């Protein structure tokens, strides 16, 4: 009887551990690069933009919990606004070394935590795909550090 109980407990633990490990999927910057850009003209603004068109695989990830590793980049002096980049500052999107799909806006869970320029971090959070021509292609909501 006790063996049966232990067997069920071990089975339930393995089953739950399997679900937990699939809760967040590790994604790569190469995966996020599956985007093309289409010309978009905003009549009201009188300007042309590039509107992103994402692969079906990326669209399936929209709203899912993910884990991604990259370089932190503070965007303001106070250190309240950050992006995560596939590349260090010297080769980032803002410096002309990569495309807009190589950075993502971060909505940090802990807004008091500070990061240094080019600090390599692994973050987990909910990825949001931005199909509009304004803003970055990706947003990571409730971004929280993960120990490597």
Q: Report pLDDT digits (tens) over 23-81.
A: 689 999 999 999 998 998 888 888 888 889 999 999 999 999 999 999 999 998 887 89
**The whole model's pTM is what?**
0.78
Per-residue confidence band for 14, with pLDDT thresholds at 50, 70 and 90: very low
The sign of the dihedral angle between the CA atoms of 59, 68, 94, 73 is positive
Residue 84's DSSP bridge partners are 72, 104
Per-residue confidence band for 98, with pLDDT thresholds at 50, 70 and 90: confident
55 φ/ψ angles, rounded to the nearest 5 degrees: -65, 155
Domains in the chain (CATH in brackets) are 24-145 (2.40.50.870)
Structure tokens at 68: 């991604």
* pLDDT surpassing 70 at residue 6: no
């Amino acid at each position: 009887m006790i063996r049966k109980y232990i067997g069920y407990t071990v089975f339930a633990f393995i089953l739950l551990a399997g679900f937990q490990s699939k809760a967040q999927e590790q994604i790569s910057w190469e995966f996020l690069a599956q985007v093309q850009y289409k010309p978009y003209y905003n009549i009201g603004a009188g300007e042309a933009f590039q509107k992103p068109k994402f692969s079906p695989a990326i669209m399936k990830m929209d709203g899912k919990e993910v884990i991604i590793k990259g370089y932190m980049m503070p965007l303001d002096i106070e250190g309240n606004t950050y992006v995560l980049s596939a590349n260090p500052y010297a080769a980032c999107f803002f410096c002309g070394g990569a495309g807009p799909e190589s950075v993502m806006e971060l909505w940090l869970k802990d807004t008091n935590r500070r990061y240094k320029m080019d600090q390599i971090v692994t973050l987990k959070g909910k990825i949001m795909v931005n199909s509009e021509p304004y803003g970055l292609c990706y947003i990571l909501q409730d971004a929280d550090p993960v120990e490597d």
